[in-house]
Amino acid sequence: MKVISHASLWRRVVRNAGRQLFRIAENNDDPQMEANGERWLLRELLRAHRAEGGGRPFAVIDGGANRGDYSRSVFRCARELGVEVEVHAFEPAPACVTELRTVFADEPAFRLTGSGLSDLAGEAVLYDGRDGSSQASLVHRLEHSQDPAATITVPLIRLADYFAVNAVKRIDLLKLDIEGHELPALRGLGEQLRPEVVDVIQFEYGGAALDAGTTLRELYRLLSGRGFLLAKLFPRALEVREYRVWMEHYSYANYIAISPRWFSNRPQ
C-alpha cells in the first residue's frame, strides 16, 4: 500500500488550475460590486421599477449595513436613474451605527435600526463587533481570528416584527450581508417571506455559512418552498438553476431569490 504525504506536482498544478477556472466560471470570490454583478442587478431593478411606475418608492432592506457602502450605492444609482427610494438599514455594531447616523444624517429616506436580523428577538454575541469590522458576525468564525476583547452583545430583531410595527407592505430588494446568519434572518420574516411581499432577495453564501453549519440546500429549500426561483448572480446576468450537490463548495458568491413574476411580465 502506497501512502504519500504530499500530492505530486502535476496533481497540485491541475487542482490549482481547476480551482481558478471554476472560480472564474462561477463568478466566485469577487466582492467588488461593480465587477461581480451586484451593481448591475441594482440598476436593473431600479430601471424596471421606473418603467412600471406605481407611484411608490423603491424599497430596499440593507441587512448588515456595516459602514453604509451598499446603501450609498442604492442612493447613488437611484439619483442617476431618477428613481425615488427608501432604505431600511439594519446594523448591530454600535461603532457602525454611530457612523451611519452621521453619514446619512441628511438623507430622510434612510431609516436605520441598530439591531441584527434573526429568527428570534432578543440579544446575541457579535464576534469582532466592537470596532465595526466588516467580518463581524453572529457566528463564531473558524476561518478568521477573532479577538475576545472585540466581542460584544447586541440586540436582535425579526423582520416580521419590523414590518408589523412600521406598516411595511412591500420590499423590492432585500440584501443580506450578515456573515453566515442569513438563514435565521430569512426565517425571521415568518409569513412575510413570499414573493408578494419581498420581490427580490440577494444573499451571500460562502465560508461564513460553513462556520454557521448552513448549507446552500437549506437556503434553497426555504426560499423555493415559499415560491421564489433561485439564481446565481453573474456580472450581467442571473442564471436560474436548481440545486445540485456540486454547488456546495462554500466559496463566496451571491445568490438571488426572485419572484416568478419576472418571467411573465418583466418590462422590456
Domain coverage including residue 151: 9-263
Does residue 3 form part of some domain? no
Show Cβ contacts of residue 184 under 8 Å, excluding neighbours closer than 6 positions. 117, 118, 119, 120
Does residue 1 form part of some domain? no
φ, ψ for residue 35, nearest 5 deg: -100, -35
Average pLDDT of the residues of the chain: 92
Does 149 score more than 90 pLDDT?
no
Q: What pTM did the predictor assign? A: 0.92
Number of structural domains (the chain) is: 1
pLDDT, one tens digit per residue, over 151-175 is 889 999 999 999 999 999 999 999 9
Give the domain CATH number at 105: 3.40.50.150
Does residue 2 form part of some domain? no
Rounded to whole angstroms, the Cα distance separating 211 from 164 reads 32
Does residue 218 form part of some domain? yes
pLDDT, one tens digit per residue, over 45-100 is 999 999 998 789 999 999 999 999 999 999 999 999 999 999 999 999 999 999 99
Please report the pLDDT score of residue 268 as a whole number. 41
Please report the pLDDT score of residue 258 as a whole number. 97
128-132, 165-169, 263-267: least confidently modelled range: 263-267
pLDDT bin (cut points 50, 70, 90) of residue 135 is confident
Does residue 4 form part of some domain? no
Does residue 268 form part of some domain? no
Rounded to whole angstroms, the Cα distance separating 40 from 60 reads 15
pLDDT, one tens digit per residue, over 206-220 is 989 999 999 999 999
Residue 204 pairs in a beta bridge with 254
Does residue 233 form part of some domain? yes
Does residue 19 form part of some domain? yes
